[in-house]
Amino acid sequence: MSRGLRTSAVAVLLGLLALVPALALTPPAGTGLQPDNLLIGILAGIGAVRGFRATRGMTGLLALTWRLMAGAGALFSLASLITGSGLAGAFGVAGVGDLLLLVVLCIPPVVCALLANQVRTAGWLTLLVDGATVVLALSVAADVFVLSAPDQVGRVDPLVVGYTGYAVLAVGLAGALCTATTRELQRSSTAVVASALLVAAAVAMLAVGIDRPGLLWQALGDVACVLCFEAGVLAVLSSPRHLSSPDDVVARSPRVNPAGMSITVLATFGLPAALLVALARGQALTPWSIGAVSAVVLLLLVRSTLRIRTSTRLVADLVRNEEDLRDLVEGSSDGVVVVDDDLRLRFASPAARTLLGLPAGTGDPDRRLPDLVLAEDRDRIAEQLDDGTAGTLHLRIPGTDRPTELEVTHHEHRGEGRRVLHLRDVTVRLRRERELERMAYTDHLTRLPNRALLFQELARPAGERCLLVLDLDGFKAVNDVAGHEAGDQLLVEVARRLRTVVRDQDVVCRLGGDEFAVVVDGTPAEAREAAQRVVDIMALPHRTAGFTFAIGASVGVAEVQAGGGQLAFREADTALRAAKQAGKGCVRVWADGTGSSPSGDSVAAALAAGHIELRYSVAGGEGQPQRALHGEPFWRHASGDLLPAAELWAAAGRQGQDGALQTWVFAESTRTAADLPGVSLLALDLPAGHVRADQLLDDVRSALAATGFPAERVSLAVTEEAILTAGAELVPVLHELRALGVRICLDDFGMGQTLYAHLARLPLTSVRIDVAALGGGGDTAHALKVVRSIVLSAQTFGLAVVAHGVSPGPLLDDVLACGVHMVRTREDLRHVTAERVREELATGAEAVRILAR
């Protein structure tokens, strides 16, 4: 359409420019060769061709309408060429040109009538009355201002009367017929009205030229013709290719056409204006004007009668529609409720009253909808209804047995102070959905959560958690000896026993067969304790079907990392296999080194490829710019998992690469720490079972010499298990390291067997304790007693005490009050890259991570 507008604008501009020399060459007498008429004929022909081309692809009544429009342009082109060539008289002189012009002038009213026929609500009687009223009103104005004007001398030429009458007829019919149109034809109808107005203007100029010959009237008529052609072309171009389906309410909806309405309004007000002008200048009305005024008055009376009849019909339709709607609402099984801005009931259908528990009747002016739901839901429902953003609401209505659950959709009528709510009883549907969901996530035999729910639980973000996977030892004998029914009964008993040995917050699941799993909230030490309780209770005799069976359980334990549910399950399953190989009633923990990396994966290759990286836990004191780093190696595995340090050291030990990994850890960690400003301490762990004591001293010396990192800012943490598994050669090496200035920390202090022996023989500078492990299953008072004892012992030996496994809160304050030097909370910045450490140090943040006294 925008392209058509540009083309029409160019055509009008070129036509008007060409019209200037053509008018200059046209003889004033209007006889002989008339270049302006020849030019008008050519332009009309071009417009007709463009109009016909635009109708390609149209069918039916739409194609007929616009081809008539284009045909009118073609006939006008022929008439103009005939009169312009001098072969016939000029327009206004009875001849072939005027006969063709008469045919052309009949087509625009027909086009307007065809367009009006597309409006569903169009009443032809009303349209004819409106059209006659507008035409008669305009005829009175034309008679007063033109035909019977005081300056009119002599008898008016009949052609002048005819052309003037046509102008009145064209304008009046176009305005009346195109006052209302459809949405899809609104632009086309506007263009047709404009075309009719321009035709009327051209004809009027022709009439004036006959009565008062002059080049001005001829030029104005020619300009109106040029504009008329393009208005007709635009009417065709703006039309849709096909009319929409009658079911398309939006496209076929009636719209008021501003152009047609303007003509109707101006004609209506033009009649009294013409009468006032005639009265003011003492002009006597002709018999035609008197008769036209009388006819207009009569038509206005007829129009009022038609309007009353139409209004009566509309009111009857509204009443009938309201009755139909009420019957539909009252007969529906779904409830309909209307509430005001205060959520008070204004209407409730019989079905809605039943669903809401209201008595039969209609009067509930003081009942608020939120007052009808369960007490605990009232505030939520009121807020959601006031907010209006929730598309669907769920109401629970108190009942004798259980609440009735309703699904509510609501529609707000803005500015009317009310909204309509549709209620549907979904109690049975929701009950079935919940039952299906329960069946999908529940083992049908033991009523425990199944494997699907287990992995949902593992994916849930939480704090420290561990996964226990257990398998019954000797269960096959139960099925073989006592039958599968007895085996099912024993599985139910196993489920019952598992519930008794874990806490309420722990999740017990059945994986299938005789395999079970438990998700334990807490540290690996707490999980191992829970696993031992499972082993102990499963070792008790089981009685079923008259038989007594001595079965047991093997348990694999793995820590659940953030987002690592699948990895934790693989690790726990690997640990379970190791427990089964070790014998009945065994517990194996992945962090203890059980399990293996995927076959074929080389730690040496990973080191060479840069797939091993150090992750750091950052800590610092309140108000202290210095920060401490705790470094651990992680393996960014080809499977996409970030394998923890315990698994990496285990794989390195199996492949004989623990020495190479040890060398790399010291070299890389000291190099990174040396490049980071504000690092006061670098803490590294000596992993149990993987300490290469024969090269430990050289590894530390080489790393410190290569990086220039001070030895007194390095702290090596060693556990009792590491000392025992490394042999006697580790203790002398630790003494030499201490002589270099390296700090030595005994980890998990208070959990071993020969604590004072270690204090006597090891060159320690600090000890590290796990407050959560000392608590004895949540007994914080007992844990604090143990912490005080450890602090007193450490003070005797001049050792610093570092605590971890405690969150900010009252317990943290109590631990600090015991005399602990540092407490590393569970909210530390843990296991981050060196780049993230650099960002932390750059910010200078004073977040509480390690609290120092």
Q: How confident is the model at residue 702 (pLDDT cuts 50, 70, 90)?
A: very high
Residue 403 makes CB contacts below 8 A (sequence gap 6+) with 374, 396, 397, 427
Q: What count of Cα atoms within 13 Å lies in the side-chain half-sphere of residue 114?
A: 18
Q: How confident is the model at residue 601 (pLDDT cuts 50, 70, 90)?
A: low
pLDDT value at 853 more than 60: no
User: Could you tell me where the DSSP H helices lie in 212-357?
Assistant: 215-237, 258-280, 287-331, 350-356
Average pLDDT over residues 349-368: 74
Average pLDDT over residues 498-516: 88
User: Could you tell me where the DSSP H helices lie in 693-819?
Assistant: 693-707, 720-726, 730-740, 755-761, 771-774, 780-796, 810-817
| 39 close to 234: Cβ distance less than 8 angstroms | no
Q: How confident is the model at residue 285 (pLDDT cuts 50, 70, 90)?
A: confident
Share of the chain above pLDDT 90, in %: 9
pLDDT value at 847 more than 50: no
Average pLDDT over residues 740-749: 89
Q: How confident is the model at residue 89 (pLDDT cuts 50, 70, 90)?
A: low
Q: Looking at residue 753, what is its pLDDT?
A: 52
pLDDT value at 621 more than 60: no
Average pLDDT over residues 801-807: 79
Beta bridge mates, 553: 472
pLDDT value at 141 more than 50: yes
Q: How confident is the model at residue 598 (pLDDT cuts 50, 70, 90)?
A: very low
- Topology of domain 332-430 in CATH is Beta-Lactamase (3.30.450)
Q: Looking at residue 28, what is its pLDDT?
A: 62
Q: Looking at residue 49, what is its pLDDT?
A: 86
Map residue 635 onto helix, strand or coil. Answer: strand
Instruction: Report the 10 Å Cβ neighbour count for 394.
Output: 16
Q: Looking at residue 518, what is its pLDDT?
A: 94
Q: Where do we find the tokens 């009792």?
A: 720
- Per CATH, the architecture of 611-852 is what? Alpha-Beta Barrel (3.20)
| 188 close to 239: Cβ distance less than 8 angstroms | yes
- CATH class of this structure's domain 441-592: alpha beta
Average pLDDT over residues 108-135: 72
CA distance 423 to 404: 11
pLDDT value at 701 more than 90: yes
Q: Looking at residue 556, what is its pLDDT?
A: 92
pTM, two decimals, is 0.41
H/E segment holding residue 188 = helix 186-211
Picking from 135-144, 410-419, 494-503, which range would have the lowest pLDDT averaged per residue?
410-419
Task: Write out the two tokens for 564.
Answer: 């690592």
pLDDT value at 627 more than 70: yes
Average pLDDT over residues 133-161: 67
Share of the chain above pLDDT 70, in %: 79
Q: Looking at residue 364, what is its pLDDT?
A: 61
Map residue 599 onto helix, strand or coil. Answer: coil
pLDDT value at 97 more than 70: no
